Every structure is written in C-alpha cells, then in structure tokens.
C-alpha cells in the first residue's frame, strides 16, 4: 500500500501530545483513548491493564483509567490465562498480523506484553455492524499507540513510586518529631488533617475565595508542608520541648522547694514560745500549706502572672530556713524566682528563643532538600506557620502579602490544634468555647488571617475537626455566632 494510512503519523502525533500532557496517568490515557475512538470510528475504546499478583496465581484486569471496579481472575497456568482472555475478547490478536479466518471482528483487542509481566490491551468495540477489514498499517499504528501508552505507564509509574516514597519519608520524619516528645505525640498527624479541611473549604467557597485556584502542585506542597512544619523541633533539647512546668528540669524543682517548706514549717513550729496555743500552731501550718498550694499553681503557668502574684513570690523568697550546716538560706533561689515569675506559660525568655528557633531550623532543613521545582514552595510554607499578618511572628517577621495563602492556612491549623490538643505537657486541651474565643482574639489583633478565620467558622471546619478528633467533654459549642 503506497498511500500512507491516516493513523500512522497524524494520529500518533496527537496521541504522543496527549501522553505528554496532563498530570495523571488516568488523564493522559483517557485523552489517548478518545483520540483512538475518533480515528477508528469505534463506539468505544477501552484500555485494559493486566497485572499478575506475584504471591498468588491471579491476573487482575482494570479498565482505563484504572478504576476501582477491577475484575480479578485466578489461573493455574499461562494457558488458562490465555483461554480466559480469548473468551473475554473474541478476537485477541498480536499487535501486527491478520485477523484469523472466521473470527468475529468486534470487539477486537490489540495486546502488548510488557517486560514487567503486565499485559496492556487496547479493545476497540463496535456495537453495530462488524467493522470492515483493517489493513496492516492501521494495526501497526495501534501497536505504536500501545507502545506509547506503555511508555506513559512506565513514566507515570516511576513518578508515582517516587511520590509514594517521598510521602512515606515525610510521614516518617513527622513521626520522628512526635516520637521525640511523648507529650506532643500526634501533633504532626493532626495538623495535616486540619489543613486539608481548611483547604477543602477554600476550594468550595463561593465568596471571598471563589476565584482562588490552588493547582495540584500548590496543594501537594501545602500537604507536605503540613507534615514537615515542625521537623525543626528535632534540634530542640528535650528539657525544653517537654517542659511541663516553670521549674521543670531533669525533674520538677518544686519537690525540693516542698522539702524546704517542710523544714521551714518544723523550724518555725519549734521556735514558737511554749505559751503558744494550738490555734497559733494550726494557723502556722495552714499558712505554710497555703504558700505551698500557691507555688504549685504558679508553677503550672496556666494563667498570666499578676503583679500580686509576683509580690507574693518575692515575699516567699525572702523567707529563710537553716540547713544541716546551720547556714541560713533563702526559701527560693534567684533562678527559681525568675522561673516562677515567667509571665505566662512555662518557658523563660531564653528558653522561648531556643524553642522558636525550630522554625528557622525547619527552613534550613527543607531548603537543603532537593525538592523538584514544582514543590519548591514546601520549605517556605512549612517555615512560615508561626508568622503573623501583623509581622509579630517568627522566624522572619513576615507580614501581610509577604505570607502566601497556604502559609496562612497552615498557621491557623497549627494554632487551633495547639489550643485543643490534650497531650501538651504544660496545659490541658481547651474546650471549643475557649479555643474559639482565643482564635477570635487573635483575629481581632491581626495575628491570624481574618478571611481564613471567617471561612474556618462559617464552613464548619472547627466542627468537622472536633467531631473527628476531640473528646465529647471538649465539644461544648452549639452556637458559633459569638465567635464570628
């Protein structure tokens, strides 16, 4: 045949263009299938992929685009598999060759055995009259089309394998961060969940974010950033990461103060004149107990320190007890006074600097990784989860438009998870009423994105997360209006 068959070049150029376009295997093969259907005049064209289960005698076939409704068959031998294939498709022929005499002509399957043991088959189906005889150039074109599809399958398979490995490594790193501190276990699993819920709300919003379109690479970058945002905590000393109280070190220093108080009480009781009555002794015991209860409460760091609290700590520090060497010593050392006078929380200013440095370490670690260009934003998104719209955040003090939308989404997820988490060493998980009140206050102070907070409330992100992750005793909000 001297005349070039229309499928031989033009169709293959189109097929190759489709195979190189799109981001998923399903999308690429679907485009090619539509083109093959048009060029062959078939009612439909199906691409089948057969996989052999290595552990069982099973050949599993799935329709393009490799949907979930797969058909699995078991075979005792290759011959049994071949017989089943011929029953499925009346005409199963080699990629290039004549149609066996007397065989039906529809459907017609063109198969390609692959080196990895899988079978790729193109099924051309005509529901009406049998198709006319097809000449060799057409079969050759379809064979080449199958080769291109096989090449796309290999390339996409390698990409998917690489992506699966990347996802696994990312989750292992996140698990390492959580395992480093028993008190923060699960944080790096919960923040991605919250981030996904907020991302879903943004994509479905018909208001402020109706025109926002995060492409597949941006979405993947955000999800990876959510998993990796705290990887810098691997560099934070355990004594700071696990600091449950203000005086916490290798052990809680409050136990030593309790011992001093007991000695002081005994010494004060012994110093009472013989004429002192039982009431005076009981008053002294109650005062010591009250001082002890006060120090225990202040040590937790669960509430802001007032001026009255500070004065009382200083007054207690001035009390003196006598050690075994007869030396008079203050009840509280200068360092203990400084730690107990931490304004809020359990970390001193110096410890807070070390803890906050984890965001910079996250940036340094992730910038050193060779992410492909399409995922280049992972480091920036992850390291910005403590940045604030007003510029008061860290590590870079970014503000306003300097913060991309994904970074602002991750920041909201991180804050809400931290407020409601019940596994933090320094506090109990807040009920929703208190957590949302704090979030609203942060919005009012321009420390979280106002638009995203509105969506967080109106789209019910807080509710969907709480229903999945919070115990019933924290879910105390039925009317969200006060927190808008």
Q: How far apart are CA 433 and CA 139, in angstroms?
A: 69
pLDDT at 203 over 80: yes
134, 7 Cβ separation under 8 angstroms: no
Spell out the residues 6+ positions from residue 332 whose beta carbon is closer than 8 angstroms to its own.
257, 313, 316, 317, 340
E strands in 105-252: 108-113, 119-125
Question: In the block, which residue shows the tokens 């005698």?
Answer: 57
Q: Are 56 and 73 in contact (CB under 8 A)?
A: no
Greatest distance between any 2 Cα atoms in the chain: 130
User: How far is residue 143's CA from residue 151's CA, in Å, rounded to a whole number?
Assistant: 12
What is the structure's pLDDT at 254?
Answer: 84
CA contacts within 13 A on the Cβ side of 31: 19
Categorize the per-residue pLDDT at 178 as very low, low, confident or very high, splitting at 50, 70 and 90.
low
Residue 62 DSSP SS3:
strand
Q: What is the mean pLDDT of the chain?
A: 77
Q: What is the pLDDT of residue 25?
A: 58
At residue 74, φ and ψ (nearest 5 deg) are -110, 140
- Which helix (H) or strand (E) covers residue 135, if one does? none
CA 177 to chain centre: 13
pLDDT computed for residue 2 by the predictor: 38
Quote the percentage of the chain above a pLDDT of 70: 63
Q: Could you report the per-residue pLDDT of 88-119, keeping only the tens digit for each?
A: 544 333 333 333 434 444 555 555 656 565 66
Q: Which CATH class is domain 181-239+350-483?
A: mainly alpha
Is the pLDDT confidence value at 280 over 50?
A: yes
Looking up tokens 């991302």, which residue turns up?
199
Tell the CATH superfamily of the 7-160 domain.
GAF domain (3.30.450.40)
pLDDT at 3: 41
Crossing angle, helix 254-271 and helix 278-300, to 10 degrees?
170
- Chain centroid to Cα 482, Å, comes to 30
- Give the position of tokens 């994904």: 406
pLDDT digits (tens, 9 = 90+) for 60-88: 444 333 333 444 455 566 566 556 555 55
């Amino acid at each position: 045949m001297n005349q070039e068959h229309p499928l031989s070049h033009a169709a293959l150029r189109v097929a190759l263009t489709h195979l190189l376009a799109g981001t998923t295997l399903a999308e690429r093969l679907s485009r090619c299938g539509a083109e093959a259907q048009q060029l062959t005049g078939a009612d439909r064209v199906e691409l089948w992929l057969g996989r052999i289960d290595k552990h069982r005698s099973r050949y599993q076939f799935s329709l393009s685009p490799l949907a979930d409704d797969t058909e699995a068959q078991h075979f005792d031998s290759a011959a049994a598999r071949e017989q089943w294939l011929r029953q499925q498709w009346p005409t199963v022929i080699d990629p290039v060759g004549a149609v066996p005499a007397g065989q039906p002509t529809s459907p017609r399957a063109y198969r390609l055995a692959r080196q990895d043991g899988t079978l790729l088959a193109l099924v051309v189906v005509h529901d009406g009259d049998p198709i006319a005889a097809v000449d060799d150039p057409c079969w050759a074109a379809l064979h080449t089309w199958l080769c291109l599809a096989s090449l796309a399958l290999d390339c996409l398979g390698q990409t998917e394998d690489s992506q699966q490995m990347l996802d696994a490594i990312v989750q292992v790193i996140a698990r390492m961060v959580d395992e480093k501190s028993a008190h923060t276990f699960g944080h790096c699993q919960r923040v991605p969940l919250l981030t996904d819920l907020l991302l879903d709300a943004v994509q479905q919003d018909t208001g402020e974010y109706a025109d926002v379109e995060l492409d597949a690479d941006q979405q993947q970058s955000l999800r990876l950033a959510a998993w990796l945002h705290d990887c810098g905590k691997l560099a934070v000393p355990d004594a700071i990461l696990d600091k449950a109280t203000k005086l916490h070190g290798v052990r809680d220093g409050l136990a030593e103060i309790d011992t001093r108080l007991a000695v002081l009480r005994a010494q004060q009781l012994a110093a009472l004149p013989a004429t002192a009555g039982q009431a005076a002794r009981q008053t002294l015991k109650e005062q010591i107990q009250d001082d002890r209860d006060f120090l225990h409460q202040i040590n937790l760091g669960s509430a802001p320190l007032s001026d009255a609290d500070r004065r009382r700590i200083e007054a207690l520090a001035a009390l003196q007890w006598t050690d075994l060497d007869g030396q008079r010593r203050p009840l509280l050392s200068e360092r203990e006074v400084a730690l107990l006078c931490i304004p809020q929380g359990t970390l001193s200013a110096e410890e807070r600097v070390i803890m906050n440095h984890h965001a910079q370490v996250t940036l340094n670690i992730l910038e050193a990784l060779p992410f492909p260009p399409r995922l280049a934003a992972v480091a920036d998104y992850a390291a910005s989860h403590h940045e604030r719209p007003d510029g008061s955040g860290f590590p870079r003090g970014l503000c306003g438009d300097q913060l991309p939308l994904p970074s602002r989404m991750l920041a909201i997820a991180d804050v809400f998870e931290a407020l409601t988490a019940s596994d933090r060493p320094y506090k109990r998980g807040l009920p929703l009423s208190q957590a949302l009140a704090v979030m609203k206050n942060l919005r009012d102070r321009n420390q979280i994105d106002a638009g995203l907070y509105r969506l967080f409330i109106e789209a019910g992100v807080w509710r969907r997360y709480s229903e999945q992750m919070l115990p019933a005793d924290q879910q105390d909000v039925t009317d969200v209006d006060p927190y808008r």
